[in-house]
Amino acid sequence: MIEAKRGGAIAEAAASNIVRAATDRPFVASRIVEVGPLTIAIHFADRDLEAQFADAFYPAPAARVTSWSLFVVAAAKGEALPLPGFSADEPDMRLVESADRYCLWMGRHSPSLYVVDRRSRRAVCWIADKGAVRAWERSRPFLPALQAMFDDSSWLAVHAAALALEDRAILFAGPGRAGKTTLSLAGLEAGWRFIGDDYVLVDSRDGAPAVASLFATARLRDDMVARFPKLAGARTAISHDFGERRHELSLQGFPGLRPGAARLKRILYVERSGHPAPDVAPVRRSQILASMAANTLIATPGAREPRLRKLARLLTAAPVARFDPGPRIGDALALLSASLA
C-alpha cells in the first residue's frame, strides 16, 4: 500500500472531482483487455481515441469479469482540463497521491492527466490535445495509470524486455540501446514467446517470481529494420519522437504471442562489451537495481518507496548475470535457450 502523503487531501478531492467529471460523459466504444493479472474495461469517448490506443493491448478472453474501468477522454477544442491550480501549459510533471488515489499531470512529456481511484477501481486518462499525443504513448498507453493500478498488488511495471520458452522467462534489463529490443524481437522471429521489448510486468512474490506482457506493441529504430524482415507486416506507422525515426509495430495476431504470466528464471543485465561470442559474467544486483529503477521511477512517477522495494525483492528472487549477446544474435538465443533447459 502507498503511504498517505501530505498532499493526500488534495489527491482525494482532485481524483473524486476528475473521475466524476470524466465518467459523466458519453462513451462510444469499449474494449475489454488483459494486462497481466488485470482485466480492464477501457471506455473511449470517441473513435479517434479508440484508434490511437486500443490495439496496443491484448483482448481479454470472452466472459472475463473486469477488475478495473479506465475512461479515456479528450478535451474539446478550447475546453480546459480540470487541472487543480495550474494550466495545461505547465511543463513539469505534477503528482499528488494518497493511499487510494493518484493524480499525475505529464507536463511536457504528454498532454495527459492520469487519475486512478483504487477505491472504486476506476481510472481516467484525460488528454488535452489528442492530436499532440506522442508515438511512444500510443505504443505503451496509460503506463503511469496502469502502474498505479498495480500498487496494491505484488506486480510492478518495469523498464525491461522479456522472452519466454514455454512458461520459463528471461528478463532483460539494461540502459537504452543496450540491445533489449534486438534480443526480444529476434526471439520473437525465432519462435520464442515475446513478452515485451520496453516495459513488462513483473510479480515480485517470494519464491514465485513471474513476468507478463503489458502491451502487444514494439518499436524499431531505422537502423534495426533490415534485421527483422518478418516483422515488416506488423508495421502500423512511422513516428518521429525526440528526433529519431521509429517504426511502430502492432504484434496482435503474430504467431506465438499471448498474454498471461511466465515463470521468471533469470534476470540478465544486457551490456555490449565487444565479446566475439555471447558471454555471461557476474554482475552486481545494485547495478541492475539502479538501472531498472531509474527509468521505471521516472516513466511511472509516484509511490517510489514501495515500488523500489518490489524491484529489490524481484532481484533477490531470481539469479542475475551480465550478458553480452555478441555479434551473432542467433548464437545469443541458442545460449539463452540452453540456459533455460
Kindly state the smallest distance separating residue 68's Cβ from other proteins, in Å: 24
Per CB under 8 A, does 116 bind other proteins?
no
- Closest approach of other proteins to the CB of residue 4, in Å: 9
Q: Closest Cα to residue 24, out of 98, 86, 82?
A: 82
Under the criterion CB under 8 A, does residue 14 sit at the interface with other proteins? yes
Using DSSP's 3-state secondary structure scheme, residue 82 falls into: coil
Subset of residues 147 to 206 that bind other proteins, contact rule: CB under 8 A: 175
The interface with other proteins within residues 36-55 (CB under 8 A) comprises none
* Window contacting other proteins (CB under 8 A); options: 7-15, 36-44, 184-192, 205-213: 7-15
Task: State the Cα angle at 99 between 93 and 105, rounded to 5°.
Answer: 15
* Secondary structure element (H or E) that encloses residue 13, with its range: helix 8-23
Closest to other proteins by CB, 130 or 310: 310
Sign, Cα dihedral of 305, 310, 311, 317: positive
Query: Applying CB under 8 A, does 94 fall inside the site for other proteins?
Result: yes
Q: With CB under 8 A as the contact rule, which of the stretches 69-77, 241-249, 286-294, 324-332 interacts with other proteins?
A: 286-294
Query: Would you count residue 86 as binding other proteins (CB under 8 A)?
Result: yes
Closest CA to 192 of 219, 167, 212, 209: 167
Using the rule CB under 8 A, is 84 a contact of other proteins? yes
Q: Is 96 in the site for other proteins (CB under 8 A)?
A: yes
R_g of the chain, CA atoms, integer Å: 20
Distance CA 140, CA 179 (A): 19
Does 257 sit near other proteins (CB under 8 A)? Answer: no
Site for other proteins in 288-317 (CB under 8 A): 289-291, 293-295, 297-298, 301, 304-305, 308-309, 312, 315-316
**Secondary structure element (H or E) that encloses residue 16, with its range:** helix 8-23
The answer to whether residue 92 forms part of the interface with other proteins (CB under 8 A) is yes
Q: 123: which 3 cell numbers?
A: 481510472
With 0-12 / 13-18 / 19 or more C-beta atoms within 10 angstroms meaning exposed / middle / buried, residue 337 is: middle
Site residues (vs other proteins, CB under 8 A): 3, 5-7, 10-11, 14, 84-86, 90, 92-97, 175, 284-287, 289-291, 293-295, 297-298, 301, 304-305, 308-309, 312, 315-316
